[in-house]
């Protein structure tokens, strides 16, 4: 049965791809001031068709849609609903199936749970989370993978060309093979909760004792390939901050910014799923960071590459050097392009940290970054590529800034970044920075 299902999916996808080409061709003949908006609308209509026509590829399609669904605040409600469904109506399974997975993974160790709430407290594309209590009174979060999740996603990943084709819809001018390879590896890692537990332990150990950032501790005995048990953190979701005062939103926006970039540049890890549901607001100005399945570890050479790009673009303002660096890295396919247009295009991704000034991140700014990334109308588009090193890190431009835009977070981001960049190591520039400096020097 599975081969026939995959053949049908491939045929449906081919029709979607052809219709997408026709939509975008028509959009490119629209008046110039409407062209980019029409192209974006065409792509979002294609997402709606993917939902309708290829919805039986539940694992991978839902995962990709959840990753995309919170990025753009400017799309129409009708088109937005095609993606929002994947965020707010994630599937759940019965508690009987949860118990089955627990027994298969943990055996007699399941008796160490004194109590488990049958109703999940959270659900995602491949699993759900239940509150539990151990016999010593400790509260835990028990993340349980759906029994068929791995099989479904492996089938989708094994459907030759599916992921590459989906990526081609978003990046029509680029070679999407490396993107597909990188995402396939990350998604397969996400299916292994034992791998996620190792990553979460690295984050937890690094941030141990931090005054504001909390990473739940992993309970190793109660975790396995399809079960991950962690300390239960009590708080409220990030979206509940949207009605609070500006100072509160600025505080938590700064925490998210510091967590992302300190983890990257000092731990060599990037949590590639900046989804609103993965941030929990705790008492006393703290924040818990959750869900480390979709993470990426970077080598020293890769981090040095990122640092060299920042030096050339931000610190030295050397357009020619920046062009040469990104050409050697594979982001630019031609070596002799005029460096100024290249700098101007990539400058958009560094805007928050280019100048020593206070900047508010708005929904419009985040949406502008999204459109800048996906719109093919820029003359440089045909010379751009996304090598494997840069695939997951793009979630900073698309996911992180979308979250900061939701909060309307306001800070001098250049000064905060300068504290974190290893080649600058500037003194603290905010109250959080002062507390963080003490934590780093006392630990």
Query: Do residues 162 and 278 share a domain?
Result: no
Closest CA to 420 of 292, 214, 264, 279: 264
Query: Do residues 322 and 406 share a domain?
Result: yes
What confidence tens digit (pLDDT) does each residue in 32-50 have?
777 767 766 776 676 566 5
pLDDT value at 409 more than 90? yes
C-alpha to C-alpha distances, 115 to 132, 145, 147, nearest whole angstrom: 5, 19, 22
Q: Residue 218, class by beta-carbon neighbours within 10 Å (0-12 exposed, 13-18 middle, 19+ buried)?
A: buried
pLDDT value at 61 more than 60? no
Query: Do residues 272 and 417 share a domain?
Result: yes
Averaged pLDDT for residues 363-373: 81
pLDDT value at 76 more than 50? no
Tally the domains of the chain. 2
| 106 belongs to a structural domain | no
What confidence tens digit (pLDDT) does each residue in 116-146 have?
999 999 887 788 999 999 999 999 999 999 9
Sign (positive or negative) of CA dihedral 422, 425, 429, 431: positive
| 48 belongs to a structural domain | yes
Whole-angstrom Cα Rg for the chain = 22
Catalytic residues, which ones? 273
Query: Do residues 296 and 157 share a domain?
Result: no
| 122 belongs to a structural domain | no
Structure tokens at 362: 């708005």
| 120 belongs to a structural domain | no
Cα 163 to Cα 245: distance, rounded to the nearest angstrom: 42
Could you tell me the residue range of the domain that residue 14 belongs to?
2-89+150-185
pLDDT value at 200 more than 60? yes
Query: Do residues 178 and 276 share a domain?
Result: no
| 228 belongs to a structural domain | no
Query: Do residues 180 and 296 share a domain?
Result: no
Instruction: Name the helix (H) or strand (E) containing 141.
Output: strand 139-145
| 138 belongs to a structural domain | no
Query: Do residues 180 and 313 share a domain?
Result: no
Query: Do residues 178 and 247 share a domain?
Result: no
Cα 275 to Cα 401: distance, rounded to the nearest angstrom: 11
pLDDT class of 374 with cuts at 50, 70, 90: low
Instruction: Give the torsion through C-alpha atoms of 281, 283, 287, 289, to 10 deg.
Output: -80
Query: Do residues 46 and 168 share a domain?
Result: yes
| 283 belongs to a structural domain | yes
Query: Do residues 172 and 268 share a domain?
Result: no
| Three-state secondary structure call for residue 280 | strand
| 229 belongs to a structural domain | no
Query: Do residues 305 and 246 share a domain?
Result: yes
Q: Largest Cα–Cα distance of the chain, in whole Å?
A: 68
- Contacts of residue 200, defined as CB under 8 A and 6 or more positions apart, other chains included, come to 215, 216, 218, 228, 230, 292
Closest CA to 172 of 328, 25, 6: 25
| pLDDT score at 92 | 81
| pLDDT score at 43 | 65
DSSP state of 241: G
Query: Do residues 160 and 262 share a domain?
Result: no
Structure tokens at 182: 């990188």
| pLDDT score at 83 | 45
């Amino acid at each position: 049965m599975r081969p026939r299902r995959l053949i049908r999916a491939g045929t449906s996808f081919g029709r979607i791809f052809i219709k997408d080409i026709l939509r975008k061709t028509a959009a490119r003949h629209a008046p110039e001031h409407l062209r980019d908006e029409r192209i974006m609308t065409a792509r979002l209509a294609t997402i709606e068709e993917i939902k309708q026509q290829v919805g039986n590829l539940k694992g991978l399609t839902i995962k990709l849609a959840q990753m995309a669904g919170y990025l753009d605040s400017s799309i129409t409600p009708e088109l937005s609903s095609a993606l929002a469904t994947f965020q707010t109506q994630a599937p759940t399974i019965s508690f009987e199936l949860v118990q089955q997975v627990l027994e298969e993974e943990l055996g007699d160790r399941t008796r160490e749970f004194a109590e488990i709430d049958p109703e999940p407290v959270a659900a995602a594309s491949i699993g759900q989370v239940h509150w539990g209590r151990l016999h010593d009174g400790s509260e835990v979060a028990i993340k349980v993978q759906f029994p068929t999740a791995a099989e479904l996603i492996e089938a989708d990943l094994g459907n030759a060309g599916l992921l590459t084709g989906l990526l081609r819809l978003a990046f029509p001018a680029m070679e999407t093979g490396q993107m597909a390879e990188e995402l396939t590896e990350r998604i397969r890692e996400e299916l292994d909760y034992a791998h996620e537990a190792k990553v979460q332990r690295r984050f937890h150990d690094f941030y141990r004792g931090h005054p504001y950032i909390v990473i739940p501790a992993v309970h190793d005995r109660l975790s396995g390939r399809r079960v991950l048990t962690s300390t239960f953190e009590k708080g409220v979701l990030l979206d509940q901050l949207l009605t609070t005062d500006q100072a509160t939103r600025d505080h938590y926006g700064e925490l998210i910014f510091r967590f992302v970039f300190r983890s990257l540049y000092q731990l060599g890890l990037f949590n590639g799923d900046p989804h609103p549901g993965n941030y929990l607001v705790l008492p006393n100005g703290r924040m818990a960071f959750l869900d480390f399945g979709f993470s990426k570890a970077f080598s020293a050479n890769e981090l040095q590459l990122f640092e060299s790009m920042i030096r050339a673009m931000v610190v030295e303002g050397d357009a020619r050097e920046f062009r040469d660096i990104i050409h050697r890295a594979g982001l630019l396919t031609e070596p002799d392009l005029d460096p100024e247009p290249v700098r101007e295009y990539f400058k958009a991704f560094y805007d928050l940290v280019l100048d020593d000034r206070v900047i508010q991140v708005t929904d419009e700014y985040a949406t502008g970054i999204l459109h800048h990334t996906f719109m093919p109308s820029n003359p440089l588009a045909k010379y751009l590529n996304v090598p494997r090193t840069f695939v997951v890190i793009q979630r900073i431009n698309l996911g992180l800034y979308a979250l900061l835009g939701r909060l309307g977070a306001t800070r001098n981001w250049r000064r905060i970044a300068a504290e974190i960049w290893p080649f600058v190591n500037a003194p603290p520039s905010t109250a959080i920075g002062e507390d963080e400096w003490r934590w780093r020097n006392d630990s």
